[in-house]
A and B are shown apart, each in its own frame.
Chain A
């Protein structure tokens, strides 16, 4: 085998092996909580007989779907509670009906976390309450979440105006500049 071919083969082999190693390692650990784009709201606080970890998603929460992710750990044995009833309620501070949803393993994608999806259609501050209950007892924790208005046509048009002016000015300048030079006199 020529030296160049061997060098190429060695490089290709190395890269293949590196990626195979990472691919192999992936599946076992990728089945995690999957909370990218989320924010911790309650960090392992000891409430009643439990330690509660609560996060919301997406970040920031915009008008539409808010997901509340809950992990319940028993204080006694430090084991995750898999058969708790987890309820999430959210009330807009500006007034409006309270939304409720149940946290489920199906939403979480695993059998130890709980995720509830709430359809929040109002921007502003929301009071969110998470309640947990199973044979150990019950616990409740509350926090405030800010729901942001999404992108609006007003923003798109308002921001466009200065760019349209800029584009016209620069466009005219470039057009003038691109004119062929006038032939020299004489």
Chain B
């Protein structure tokens, strides 16, 4: 299904009308895809990786690579999230610099680039290297699915303990079903990180002992056990880097929509005495992705250590508690993308009508009056609910992390308080962004 949608996006994006609100590429990618992704993550889990259209080029690449003997393991130094974090930053930067939401042509090229990247990476490397270490969309889905109420996991631990063949990871020889490509051994798997919901393990298990099951959202972040395919969360700076990009990216992505960012960009441009956009954008992104996170996380960790009275490194505390900010940031993503989806969901109908008209099917005047999915007065309350939900999740996760580590609840409470304050500050920052007027984007620097 998503493969067909991807085909239409590429077709209309490359040869259709180049006005964003009239084109399937821009409307379906930036309004519907993003909105449905975050809502699916909230309600179920990583459904979009499950239905990923890039599986086709991956499968072709794997087949070709195997036939030609090109396949090998990804070098150890690449087996982490650093590359994915950098690619995400580059993507966010391009998104603003090239006004990707406004360009059907570029949107189509991004989808094409994705097909190409998935094909090439999986032609040369085994183990779903593209999904696990490269794909920026997948990393966003992994991040969001930490908050999801469902997980692929085992039903009975005893069944796994008695299992001799471990088909969920090794593959089922009888049926030919492969095991998990992402090295998530079900018996030791904890949570949704890196799980694409591909169901390979479900089909491979000869005991029908694996399934999609309900769980407490964010529960996987409360403790830090050793996880199959991932190790300990608290020991991985690369995972923290990825989270920082997605936590602060939530704000930068929304911040770029509002009027103050244009004033800030113009001030920076005037200060630098330049007329091009990218240097000011680079400074804003440098501040948002590097300087601000370092300052905020270091200060919060410092105060957390001070209040807990334990002689621990600030870096260790950052690695432990940054996970508590995931729900708040996901609340911001949810609030932002759901807003666009709820205001523009029905736009898909006139856009499809327009597409059919342009394709030679005369179906009359598109119904451009269609647009919002809910009454306008519901929008801000819905956004606000998502943000409060995010704060609530962050407070619960933060406290549980503290209790899990410090054991003594008085100490845990003191260590948790600075992180609660940071989550509250993030909520207020999100409200501030929501209170700002939105800009008619993509018009400020062009032609001036």
Contact = CB atoms under 8 A, between A and B. Distances in A.
B301 interface: no
Contacts of B360: none
A183 interface: no
Contact of B380 (A15, A53, A155, A171): A155
A interface bracket (residues with beta carbon within 8 Å of B): 35 or more
B317 to A, nearest CB: 19
A29 interface: yes
A62 B435 CA distance: 11
Given A22-B109, A65-B259, A151-B434, 13 more contacts: A8-B77, A22-B113, A31-B446, A34-B442, A36-B101, A36-B441, A40-B368, A43-B350, A43-B365, A55-B19, A60-B376, A107-B443, A180-B407
A174 interface: yes
B256 to A, nearest CB: 11
Interface string A45-65: 000000001010111101011
Contacts of B105: 29, 32
A151 B22 contact: no
A18 B445 CA distance: 26
7 contacts: A25-B106, A32-B20, A32-B99, A109-B448, A111-B447, A170-B396, A171-B399
B78 A159 contact: no
B447 A30 contact: no
B22 A36 contact: no
Interface of B: 18-22, 26, 30, 72, 74-78, 83, 87, 90, 94, 97-99, 101-103, 105-106, 109-110, 113, 116-117, 120-121, 124-125, 134, 257, 259, 340, 343-344, 347, 350, 354, 365-366, 368, 371-372, 376-377, 379-381, 383-385, 388-389, 391-392, 395-396, 399-400, 403, 407-409, 412, 431, 434-435, 437-448
B438 A11 contact: no
Given A18-B113, A163-B392, A41 B99 contact: no
A76 to B, nearest CB: 21
Given A4-B75, A55-B21, A151-B435, A167 B395 contact: yes
Interface of A: 4, 7-8, 10-11, 14-15, 18-19, 21-23, 25-27, 29-43, 53, 55, 57-60, 62, 64-65, 67, 69, 105-111, 115, 117, 146, 148-152, 155-156, 158-160, 163, 166-167, 170-171, 174-175, 178-180
A32 B102 contact: yes
B440 A18 contact: no
B129 to A, nearest CB: 9
B203 to A, nearest CB: 30
B108 to A, nearest CB: 10
Contacts of A178: 403, 409, 412
Nearest to A23: B94
B384 A109 contact: no
10 smallest CB-CB distances across A and B, nearest first, come from A34-B442, A109-B446, A36-B101, A64-B437, A67-B440, A36-B102, A58-B438, A109-B443, A148-B376, A57-B440
B26 A36 contact: yes
Contact of A38 (B20, B74, B103): B20
Identify which of B76, B385, B409, B443 gathers the most chain A CB atoms within 10 Å of its CB. Answer: B443
A151 B400 contact: no
Contacts of A166: 392
Contacts of A109: 442-448
Given A18-B113, A106-B447, A178-B403, A37 B376 contact: no
Given A26-B106, A33-B20, A151-B434, A159 B343 contact: no
Contact of A39 (B354, B371, B380, B443): B371
Contacts of B257: 37, 58
Contacts of A163: 388-389, 391-392
A41 B385 contact: no
Contacts of B395: 167, 171
A108 B441 contact: no
B431 A36 contact: no
B84 to A, nearest CB: 11
Nearest to A166: B392
Nearest to A27: B98
A32 B435 CA distance: 28
